Amino acid sequence: MSSNAELLGAAPLFQGLAFDDLERLGGAARLQHFDAGEAIVEIGEPGRSLFVVVSGHVQVLYPARILEVELARLGPGDFFGEMALLNDKPRSATVRSVGPVEALVLDKSEFKQLVFDRPQVALNLLEVLSVRIYQADQQIGGLSDQAIRDTLTGLLNRRAFNERMVIECDRARRYQETFSLILLDLDHFKSINDTLGHDVGDEVLSWIGRILTLHTRAADMPFRIGGEEFAIVCPATHPDLARAVSQRLVDVVREASPPIRHKLNLTMSASYATCPDDGTDMEVLYNTADQALLQAKRDGRNRANDPIVIP
């Protein structure tokens, strides 16, 4: 028996197959190496191959809401990529290597024919898939908004912001895309808490959350990242548009009045940074926008500043 056939024969999916079937599959399979952290398959792409892990481990990831959720971690003998082959649909999850991985790669036509011809393989596949679907439902259904959403404003929180920035930076580098980060900070917010109390301060923050939700595009993602600090991640947004959005939000806050029992003249300062113009790394983009925000405060507040280049 060939080495590939032996490796396939050890996988639960192919248990019970005859010698000739394993030899045929082994001859059609190729051994492929993947580096640590490499995306072996990506969600949405067409499925052309089935993968059987020979060595190492992989993560099966699903982008629930904005976070990548690990649905499963697979090791030697496990397989993935079968669903796209069976139903000709795009990949339903991303699979990434945890460390160096070796996998046998089987062509789509060979695998589909085997499933149709050999009832034992179909039964093995059905058993594994039923367990996977149950586990995935449990994990995705158990995700709580509490982990990623700020309870006061209803906006996504700092943890979600960090996750989203990593994803957007990675996508921008990989596909040469553009996105912008907008930072905003309420002016003199401490004096509101000190003079009117934290309950009024909370009402103001909640109102700001509604303002940011109402005055941003559906694709934009507003976050509360600190006490009175907010951020908006804006996909496919160039510097001119980011500047206009920043200024518009500053203007809206200045001209509107929060629906509370005290009359307040609120203002907000803002800034932005754009990937790749101002950097392709999350930390660089954040620091660039943050320095511009601090300068807006020094310049008198109630304004939106352009990015400041950090030497």
HEC sequence for 166-200 = HHHHHHHHHHCCCEEEEEEEECCHHHHHHHHCHHH
Give the span between the Cα atoms of 93 and 63, in whole angstroms. 8
In this predicted structure, what is the pLDDT of residue 126? Answer: 76
Residue 191 identity (one-letter amino acid): S
Question: Is 228 annotated as catalytic?
Answer: yes
The model's pTM is 0.58
Question: What pLDDT, on the 0 to 100 scale, is given for residue 118?
Answer: 80
Length in residues, the chain: 311
What pLDDT does 65 receive?
Answer: 43
- Please give, one letter per residue, the 3-state secondary structure of 65-79: CCEEEEEEEECCCCE
Backbone angles phi, psi at 263, to 5 degrees: -85, 120
Which pLDDT does position 91 carry in this prediction?
82
**Contact of 73 with 135, CB cutoff 8 Å:** no
pLDDT at 64: 46
Report, as ranges of residue numbers, the positions in the chain whose pLDDT lies below 50.
1, 64-66
Query: 94 vs 16, 112, 169, 190, 224, CA distance in Å?
Result: 29, 21, 17, 44, 28
State in Å, rounded, how far the first CA of the chain is from the last one: 62
Q: What's the burial of 128, exposed, middle or buried (CB within 10 Å: 0-12/13-18/19+)?
A: middle
| Of 203, 228, 229, 283, catalytic | 228
The three-point CA angle 33-84-77 to 5° equals: 45
For residue 73, report the phi and psi dihedrals to the nearest 5 degrees: -125, 120
Query: Which one, of 19, 85, 20, lies nearest residue 52 by Cα?
Result: 85
Confidence at residue 136, expressed as pLDDT on a 0 to 100 scale: 63
Structure tokens at 210: 């509604």
